[in-house]
Amino acid sequence: MAYFKASTQYGDWRGTASADDIDPSSVSVRRYIREKNVGKPTEFLIAVEFFLGETHHSNDLPKPFIHAYFLDGVAKYEEAQKKIEEYQARNEPIPVRQVDIDISLEEFFGMFKRFAVTLTWQDLPIADEEYRTT
């Protein structure tokens, strides 16, 4: 079964990610997908997955794997939210269409105004904990 949660083979580091869209009239994930005719008018983009494979200690990074996940039958956020809640209430997996996006690292990260990733060592219970630097 697949989940909307980042994971790697060993999971040594785990964490969270957050990103801010650039102005939608500029470059953005949704605009890129619309311009490439990847999504359908009857679908809503609910998730984007970014995965970078083994680097083998090289300065040359491999091409990333980027997937877009679409929910069919909805066009707006509120509709998507309601439909997802219906699947959750029935304890059913969310049916999505996965599309592979052919894009470079620079293009992908260039679609965001800001992009942050925080990784913590394995299962240390510090996610969402306040801290102070010393």
Question: Could you give the CA distance from residue 13 to residue 97 in angstroms, rounded to a whole number?
Answer: 28
Q: How many CB atoms lie under 10 A from the CB of residue 66? A: 20
Total structural domains within the chain: 1
Q: Is residue 127 part of a domain?
A: no
Residue 70's domain spans which residues? 13-53+63-118
What global pTM score does this model have? 0.86
Q: Is residue 18 part of a domain?
A: yes
Q: What is the pLDDT of residues 41-100, one digit of tens each?
A: 899 999 999 998 877 666 777 788 999 999 999 989 999 999 999 999 999 999 999 999
Question: Could you give the CA distance from residue 6 to residue 101 in angstroms, rounded to a whole number?
Answer: 17
Q: Is residue 130 part of a domain?
A: no
Q: Is residue 126 part of a domain?
A: no
Name the nearest CA neighbour of 16 among 131, 129, 96.
Answer: 129
